[in-house]
Structure 1
Amino acid sequence: MNIAMTGGTGFLGTHLTGVLTRQGHHVYILSRNAGKTEQKNITYVQWLTEDAAPEQDLPHIDVWVNLAGKSIFGRWNEKTKQQILSSRIDATREVRRLIHRQAEKPKALIQASAVGIYGTDLEKTFTEDSPTSDEDFLSHTSHLWEREGQTIEAMGIRTVYARFGVMLGEKGALPLMILPYKLLAGGTIGTGNQWLSWIHVEDAAQLILYAIETDSISGPVNVTAPNPVEMKQFGKTIARVVHRPHWLPVPEFFLSKALGEMSLLIVKGQRALPKKAITSGFRFTFSDLEFALSQLLTDRKAV
């Protein structure tokens, strides 16, 4: 298949491109910096720049994967939050424009989202059947992001809203989370009772491939491992894997001061389960946190 991907040079996009090309699919990566040397089954296409005309450079596309958006890592201010939101909305609107220009519509769209759409809670369990929220910046952003995707779904295109949990890999959140342990200062963050819905980046990529190839899957899909953990368990597991102490608590107010509003990613959370992936038959390679961290950290990919 011909698969167009936005955000293809990012953390997940790089892993997913490898998964797709190994399956024999041709990936067209839309990028503001498309001057990269083409590789087997990979073509870079300029987009979202003044002189870009991606509709002229793309062949018929069978599936779109829309992962584009400014990173959420870093201290948020009003300007940063606007960039996080607008980058996702603008990219999705451009995808819609490009799909509209195609003579033959794609058979599917994989639209990125996040489990943050459910809001935060210490006790509830969220599946794809759970109501969404609009209680904070992340839930609001995810809500608007999916709403833009619905305008593409309205064209009669099978649309999957990939609601990502915290992705573990050599980039993203994990290097930041293990840094205190490397400095012998690791410990429970906040109360430690907040839930972390995590997923190994390779399972995330494989689940997207599975959604592409499984016509019966549509609507929201929680891209999370089947065994979320409380933050205190997550920290203790890191300590065990990297052979460092877990002893120095990190108060919630300290993180709020250091990270601002972004701290809600760490000091709050939600227990999200991948009900749709499990019931449809997807098999996770990394369903156990300790196994996932051992694969990542002992191979020194994220250390």
Structure 2
Amino acid sequence: MRILMTGGTGLIGRRLCAALTARGDRVTVLSRRPQQVAALCGASVKSIQSLDEYTPNIEFDAVINLAGEPIVDARWTAQRKQMLLDSRVALTTTLVQKIKLATHQPQVLLSGSAIGYYGMHEEQSLTEDDASGHDFSAQLCAAWEQAALVAQDTGVRVVLLRTGLVMDEKGGLLKKMLLPFRMALGSRLGNGRQWMSWIHRQDYLRAVLTLLDDQTAKGAFNLTAPQPVTNAQFTQTLASTVHRPAVFFAPATMLKLVLGERSDLLLSGQKVVPQALSERGFKFEFADLTSALRDLLK
């Protein structure tokens, strides 16, 4: 399969490139630094620097759209929010336009999203049937998804990847937490009652490949493990896995002062379940957090 990928040089994108090329797919990655793509993603992976290079005569069988500026790394000023929108919504809109103009249209577009789509909730279990929220991250995800769904107008199968916290010891949230937890400085965030919906990197990759290949799969899919946990449960499970105590907590007031509006991502959460994947018979290799962390940190 000939695949165009955006966001391919990120940690998850690199792992997905490796999984695709390992099974014989031919991958092209959109990157602002195309000279780095082969080193990061694999020697056989090609690169383009701009979507202007995706001309109508170029043939792709599938497009995987994972591009987007990191959402937590900088304070949400008006300028930063616009950058987050442009890197997701504007890029996806341009990508869909290119797909529509293609002489050989891709059969499927897998487009990134996140469980932030649902907004902030306390105890409600959320499935793909639930509505979007009203905070900034929810509005961002909803606009991102709507931009991708336009591709359906010309018969392209669109799959929306509502991704939770991907557990990977080499990057993301887990990598940031490992050092303080190994130094016995791990702490819960606020009251610890907020839900964390996570997924082991291997199950994420397996789910994406399944949705790529299943010609009947379309619409939104929650890419989360079937057993979400509270922040307090996550804290104790990680501490136990690295054989250290976790007796501290980060006060909500401090997090709000330091992070501003972004603190909502840490102090609120969503209890998300993968209903659509489960209905298709997808079996998670790591359904519970304990087994996932033991595998990642073995």
TM-score computed with the length of structure 2 as normaliser: 0.93
- Aligned residue for 2:276? 276
| Aligned residues of 1:69 and 1:84 also touching (Cα < 8 A) | yes
Cα pair 2:63 2:106 within 8 Å, conserved: yes
Contact in 2 for aligned 1:74/1:262 (Cα 8 Å): no
Q: Number of residues paired by the alignment?
A: 293
CA 1:3–1:254: 2 relative to 1, 3 Å: same
Stretches of structure 1 that go unaligned for 5 or more consecutive residues are 299-303
Are the aligned partners of 1:127 and 1:273 in contact in 2 as well (CA < 8 Å)? yes
Runs of 4+ displaced beyond 6 Å? none
Partner of 2:74: 75
The residue identity in structure 1 corresponding to 2:241 is: V
RMSD: 1.6
Match for 2:184: what amino acid? L
Instruction: Using the TM superposition, name which of 235-244 and 257-266 deviates more.
Output: 257-266
Q: For residues 256 and 82 of structure 1, what CA distance do their matches in structure 2 show?
A: 21
Shift of 1:53: 2.3
Secondary structure of 2:73's partner?
coil
Runs (5+) with no aligned partner, structure 2: none
* Cα distance in structure 1, aligned partners of 2:199 and 2:189: 19
State the one-letter code of the partner of 1:80.
R
Task: Report the secondary structure of 2:236's partner residue.
Answer: helix
C-alpha distance in structure 1 between counterparts of 2:125 and 2:37, whole Å: 45
Verify the 8 A CA contact 1:25 1:41 in the aligned structure 2: no
Aligned-residue offset at 1:37: 6.6
Do 1:16 and 1:206's aligned partners in 2 also have CA atoms closer than 8 Å? no
Partner SS, residue 55 of structure 1: coil
Partner AA of 1:128 in structure 2: E
Tell me, in whole angstroms, the C-alpha distance in 2 between the residues paired with 1:281 and 1:234: 27
Alpha-carbon contact 2:58-2:104 (below 8 Å) kept: no
Q: What SS does structure 1 have at the residue aligned with 2:188?
A: coil
Q: Report whether the alignment pairs 1:206 with 2:206.
A: yes
Q: Distance in 2 between matches of 1:205 and 1:91?
A: 23
> 2:31 touches 2:37 (CA, 8 Å); kept in 1?
no
Give 1:143's aligned residue: 142
Q: Which residue does the alignment assign to 1:128? A: 128
The residue aligned with 1:107 is 107
Q: Hey, what does 1:186 align to over in structure 2?
A: 186
Tell me, in whole angstroms, the C-alpha distance in 2 between the residues paired with 1:165 and 1:218: 19
Letter in 2 for 1:158: R
DSSP 3-state at the match of 1:188: strand
- Asked if residue 296 in structure 1 is aligned to residue 273 in structure 2, the reply is no
| Structure 1 residue 42 corresponds to structure 2 residue 13 | no
> 1:157-213, CA deviations, whole angstroms, 9 ceiling, x for partnerless residues?
110010011111111111223343133222221111110000112211211110011
CA distance in 1, matches of 2:180, 2:258: 14
- CA distance in 2 between counterparts of 1:68 and 1:230 reads 28
